[in-house]
Structure 1
């Protein structure tokens, strides 16, 4: 047998470029003197109440849940009337529940519509998201401490062949 080939040559050492730029920083600082004596009064202003910090986080838990105008029954009636069974899922006899999650904003609009969990068929998930995005009307937003907050809403959409 022929002898093994020689090992490859070692890689060349990295080229290190040292560019040092000297910056002149001869700026003179102004001397500040502060004279304090017994008659000097120092006042520190502390506000009586803490400023309210606006947090735009999405609340997982709310005191009052977001609600569709007319309630859950009106929402389900609209979905039942408007959801179209995807042909490919119907031909394959695919049925099941799709969970759609979205955010009900402070102004009652909805955003960030998506499916969560296992979806029986991609076409069912797509149809559920498409129709939820088209739900008409403004929601009553969820509330914490009497104030409207952004909150998640989870909606099960059932696809059943008749």
Structure 2
């Protein structure tokens, strides 16, 4: 039996070449499809405004007239010339330099005024204690002074709200001066917290003016110490 295929014709001999050509063709078409660009036709009107340029009405431009500011003319003050007929007394300046006619003073003739230093006496050693208003006729003025001080503290005492919220309590040691004119001088304080110290200063600053204490018949400055207790109930 004679075979149908020609053994000299090999169909698979150029199949790889055809495969490469087909692959290149497919890749070229894919590249052209990806890189293909299309453009919209140019419009003669603005799309965002949705009107043609011919339909846009131009608004008239208003012109404003700018007026120049009026400058107020300020005239110089009128200078009045008066006749100078007033006689001026000239002050004679004496020379401080010494000359042959200068009088020489002796050392004994020169008096030097020394400023008097204010005497500061303690409350315990003072001869006559300061008198608190209302204690003028009291027999024991020291006891009356202490009693009036306690009444003054109770009357003006006010527990600070911040100290109450924070639970701060304790004793504030204070010392103040009663000056030689009866007014309250420097107030010193020491306590557990600044809030309590400020309240103690406020109480003592409300003290009235007193009759000053005396030492050997002369008004002197007297220091007085008193503690102020802050206790939460």
TM-score normalized by the length of structure 2: 0.44
Q: Name structure 1 gaps, 5 residues minimum.
A: 1-28, 33-41, 46-50
Query: Residue in 1 aligned with 2:120?
Result: 58
Deviation at 1:62, TM superposition (A): 2.3
Q: 2: CA distance between counterparts of 1:142 and 1:30?
A: 53
3-state SS, counterpart of residue 151 of structure 1: strand
* 1:96-107 to 2 correspondences below 5 Å: 96-107=170-181
Of 121, 128, 133 in structure 1, the residue corresponding to residue 193 of structure 2 is 121
Deviation at 1:55, TM superposition (A): 1.7
Higher gyration radius (CA): 2
CA contact (8 A) 1:79 1:131 kept: yes
Q: 2: CA distance between counterparts of 1:87 and 1:67?
A: 34
Q: Which has the higher contact order (CA 8 A, sep 6+)?
A: 1
* 1:35-50 to 2 correspondences below 5 Å: none
Query: Residue in 1 aligned with 2:95?
Result: none
CA contact (8 A) 1:66 1:153 kept: no
Q: Name structure 2 gaps, 5 residues minimum.
A: 1-97, 136-144
**Higher fraction of helix:** 2
Are 1:159 and 2:233 matched, yes or no? no
TM-score normalized by the length of structure 1: 0.60
3-state SS, counterpart of residue 59 of structure 1: strand
CA contact (8 A) 1:64 1:144 kept: yes
Q: CA RMSD in A?
A: 3.2
Aligned length: 121
